[in-house]
Amino acid sequence: MVLAAMLNIGASVMNGGAGTGAVDFFHGFQVAIMLTIMFNLVQFIYWRCSQTRRGSCLVKHRPTLLMFLSAIMTNFQPMAILAVGSWKMICCPCADLGLDANCTSTGRSMPPWPNAMNADGSQAMRQCHGNGNWFWADDHCTGQELALFPNKASGWLIQIFLTWGGFVLMFVSVMEAMQLGKKLKNKWRAIRGGR
């Protein structure tokens, strides 16, 4: 997970800006690493709980369910950013994209597809409503300003509640599956001489 986070930082400091091959590659690579690590951790927790815990399915596999939820939560933001970057999903004023200010009826467009043409031979516009996307506002329309952190409330909510909340759930799940609370308590009693 640390490797995936470092790769994201590596992609963010590339000189070419968003939309270059390097940044798109690193976003995809980060998602691949995060998915692999988190869902392998789900499998490990499942195996560990199957071997060491007793009780009903819910009691036995509570850590597995928490880890599965954690894997989904922590992967939401990287997947969403990969989708945004891959399909250029940011709603911008037409003028910011170097287009006619009235390129659509709303005056806003997502970056047009390179070879998409209308029936009359003009470039097909991707009309949209809104300001930016879930993570970034209009000021990131050109893709040259790379941001490590969102600048919209919805992006911060995703980052805090899903990403960071997912890592908290992961910690709880691993603690429960490995019974680290009991092990630490027993070790503390042994060190303190049973007092």
The answer to whether the CB of 193 falls within 8 A of the CB of 106 is no
Does the pLDDT at position 4 exceed 90? no
23 and 72 belong to one structural domain: yes
141 and 78 belong to one structural domain: yes
Read off the pLDDT band of 114 (50, 70, 90). Answer: confident
The answer to whether the CB of 5 falls within 8 A of the CB of 137 is no
Looking at 81, 115, 131, the residue that finishes a domain is 131
140 and 58 belong to one structural domain: yes
Predicted TM-score (pTM) of this structure: 0.77
66 and 145 belong to one structural domain: yes
**Domain containing 29: what range?**
2-90+132-191
50 and 63 belong to one structural domain: yes
Pick the more confident residue, 126 or 174: 174
Read off the pLDDT band of 10 (50, 70, 90). Answer: low
82 and 138 belong to one structural domain: yes
123 and 149 belong to one structural domain: no
Does the pLDDT at position 149 exceed 70? yes
116 and 142 belong to one structural domain: no
Neighbouring residues of 70: CB distance < 8 A, sequence distance ≥ 6: 38, 166, 167, 169, 170, 173
144 and 181 belong to one structural domain: yes
Q: Report the pLDDT value the prediction gives residue 15, as an integer from 0 to 100.
A: 47
78 and 155 belong to one structural domain: yes
Pick the more confident residue, 68 or 12: 68
Looking at 81, 108, 131, the residue that finishes a domain is 131
| Averaged pLDDT for residues 105-114 | 84
Report the percentage of the chain scoring pLDDT > 90.
Answer: 32
3-state secondary structure at position 31: helix
Read off the pLDDT band of 130 (50, 70, 90). Answer: confident
Q: Report the pLDDT value the prediction gives residue 146, as an integer from 0 to 100.
A: 56
Q: Over the stretch 36-50, which tens digit does the pLDDT of each residue have? A: 999 999 999 999 999
Pick the more confident residue, 194 or 92: 92
Report strand pairing: 92-93 vs 108-110: antiparallel
The answer to whether the CB of 92 falls within 8 A of the CB of 104 is no
Pick the more confident residue, 159 or 114: 159
101 and 170 belong to one structural domain: no
The packing angle between helices 165-177 and 21-52, to 10°, is 30
- Nearest Cα neighbor of 13 from 146, 176, 167 is 146
Q: Over the stretch 49-93, which tens digit does the pLDDT of each residue have? A: 999 888 888 889 999 999 999 999 999 999 998 888 888 888 888
86 and 72 belong to one structural domain: yes
When divided into structural domains, the chain yields a total of 2
Rounded Cα–Cα distance for residues 27 and 89 (Å)? 15
